Amino acid sequence: MGVGRVEQTADRPLPTPPPPDALVAARGLRKTYGTLEAVRGIDVTVRRGEAFGFLGPNGAGKSSTMRMIAAVSPASGGSLRVLGMDPAEDGPAIRSRLGVCPQDDTLDSELTVRENLLVYGRFFGLSRAEVARRADELLAFVQLGDRADARVEQLSGGLKRRLTVARSLINEPELLMLDEPTTGLDPQARHLLWDRLFRLKQQGTTLLLTTHYMDEAEQLCDRLVIIDEGIVVAEGSPAQLIGAHSSREVCELRFDVDDHDGAVGRLQRLGERVEALPDRVLVYAADGEAVAQAVHDDLGLSPRSTLVRRSTLEDVFLRLTGRSLAQ
Amino acid sequence: MGGSVPAARLRRPATTGLVWRQLDHWRIRWRRTWRGSAITNFVLPILYLLAMGVGLGAYVDEGGGRAALGGVDYLEFIAPGLLATSVMQNAVGASTWPVMGAIKWDKTYFAMIASPLRTRDVLVGNLGFVAARLALTAAVFWLVLALFGVVVLPWAVLAVPAGVLVGMAHATPLFALSARLERETGFMLVYRVGVVPMFLFSGAFFPVSQLPDPVQWLAQSLPLYHGVELVRGLTLGRPDLLADIGHVAYLVLWCGVGFVLADRALARRLGG
């Protein structure tokens, strides 16, 4: 497996060859729009069979990276191999083996639910009979069988997203790419979609997804990269990232507005680290309950609310970037 | 699991193959949407034909208009003009809002290029669909003209492909414009300062020689004038071959330049 279109720069070491089972191998990948640098040199390897995530806030460069990997947007620099091929050369061949679930549902609102699958499958060169067979299977899989003849414009956001997922599976893709799959969905619709994605993963489909929800990343991803301002700031499994960049537990304290600033200074000595957010203070420690106790007993502070929880990827992101993911 | 088509065959797929894969897409869309455009495409031009060709025509013919129109009845004069202009209007309709919709609202082009289709395959497929629609419009309109008894065979048969050419000369540059426009308000401008004046002053309703020279030159620089002249000569069974070769060449030029511009505009819009 070679490396296409390498743009060697002085400060970048020779790219390490991707492992043989890599479906996606990006080295120093960049994307610029005019003067805007959306992606500023990303190294990513996605292996067959894993669920890989890009976690980062809106505007971090996740969607731009996804569009380059999906072979619809040319890279501005660096090298990229997808399914062992160069997207600049072999776009149609790569895309014939990918499933793409974009952030905006790009469904045809003039057509019915089932027709959307029928016409889309034909783009991949499948016969009408084969497309019809797969369409019925997929509608059952995303639990839309009873809405097969409904017009797309009559569907709710959650149903449209499920149809988009079904459509992205019509060519039985080796790599399923999902850009913000559950953004804008209600909790019930999110959980249903997560369940379907989890089943796909168990069937051996490689998943590559972007999200700005840390719970989604923790639920679905075996490995992920945290992306901020167009670069990778950390990489690993959710547990590794939390272990490396945060304490085991967090004690979240909310104070009255007048007490907030004074409390922050006094809390410093209780944990490994203290983060003061506008509305609450996070104290990072191995034992969160002990911190909560000490806030009361040792410091004599009385927060309006106290919550002890495990560290999450949100805390990792806050630690690495100084900002909150949800913003 | 795996791709159902061997990768080797897809490395440099031919555009024709990938265009044919869109057949069901355009066929099913057409089945869903044709009723809406039928009224504008057929009923309205036929009303024009009756009101102007038959109604107004009686006065024109009585008043000695035949000589000024080159020795034909007013109905015979405007009937081919209406064929050309209604195909043009159909082409404008098919290459403006639906194109913007597929980029901006439904974003169906983005779904299409996420499959093995490339931007140019989508463009060619879409234009092929437009051409098929125009062929149907022209053919049905031609039959109506035959019922009115204003077609002279055998040359008149060529009025149908000529009509498609006229339509495509408008469809390709407007496709390019639609692929660039950010907002649909631009289309209102296209209609008000482009389509409607061109429709009125293209020579469909009266010879452009009636117009002051500068306006005449302007009218003759636009493709519709050449379309009207071409279709009229063929329909009435008396083509001016040398002039018609010029008309065809000019319309093909508009199609070609329009296609190149549309290809670039769509690639920039979808593949950034």
DSSP class of residue A45 equals: E
pTM of the model: 0.90
Number of Cβ pairs < 8 A linking chain A and chain B: 122
Question: B10 vs A92: CB contact, 8 Å cut-off?
Answer: yes
pLDDT band at B95 (very low <50, low <70, confident <90, very high): very high
pLDDT band at B93 (very low <50, low <70, confident <90, very high): very high
Question: Tokens representing B49?
Answer: 């034909």
Q: Which 164-223 residues of chain A touch chain B by CB within 8 A?
A: 167, 171-174, 204-205
Chain A: residue nearest B110 by CA?
A106
In this prediction, what percent of chain B has a pLDDT beyond 90? 77
User: Which CB contacts under 8 angstroms, 24+ apart, belong to A44-49?
Assistant: A44/A225, A44/A232, A45/A18, A45/A19, A46/A22, A46/A175, A46/A206, A46/A208, A47/A19, A47/A21, A47/A22, A47/A23, A47/A206, A48/A21, A48/A22, A48/A23, A48/A174, A48/A206, A49/A21, A49/A204, A49/A206
Question: Tokens representing A105?
Answer: 């549902």
| Among the ranges given (A9-18, A298-307, B56-65, B197-206), the one the predictor scored with the smallest mean pLDDT | A9-18
Task: Choose the mutation target among A39, A81, A108 for the interface with B, i.e. most B CBs under 10 Å.
Answer: A108
Where chain A has pLDDT below 50, the residues are 1-10
Q: What is the mean pLDDT of residues B8-22?
A: 76
Any B CB within 8 A of A98 CB? yes
For chain B, the residue count is 272
Q: Of A308, A301, A297, A290, nearest to A265 (Cα)?
A: A301
pLDDT at B8: 45
Measured between CB atoms, which of A72, A96, A106 is closest to B107?
A106
pLDDT at A14: 53
Q: Rounded mean pLDDT of chain B?
A: 91
pLDDT at A169: 97
pLDDT at B40: 73
Question: B114 vs A72: CB contact, 8 Å cut-off?
Answer: yes
Cis status of the peptide bond prior to A74, with omega within 30 of 0: no
pLDDT at B2: 41
> Chain B contacts of A125, Cβ < 8 Å?
4-5, 17, 21, 116
Chain B: residue nearest A66 by CA?
B114
pLDDT at B41: 73
pLDDT (tens digit per residue) in B121-159:
999 999 999 999 999 999 999 999 999 999 999 999 999
Query: Can you tell me the distance from the alpha carbon of A46 to that of A232, in angstroms, rounded to the nearest whole number?
Result: 14
What sections of B95-158 are H helices per DSSP? 97-100, 108-113, 119-147
pLDDT at A13: 53
Backbone angles phi, psi at A183, to 5 degrees: -65, 130
User: Is the pLDDT reported for residue B76 higher than 90?
Assistant: yes
pLDDT at B67: 81
User: Is A97:A174 a contact under the CB 8 Å cutoff?
Assistant: yes
User: Is B101:A107 a contact under the CB 8 Å cutoff?
Assistant: no
Question: Tokens representing A172?
Answer: 């039985």
Question: A120 vs B106: CB contact, 8 Å cut-off?
Answer: no
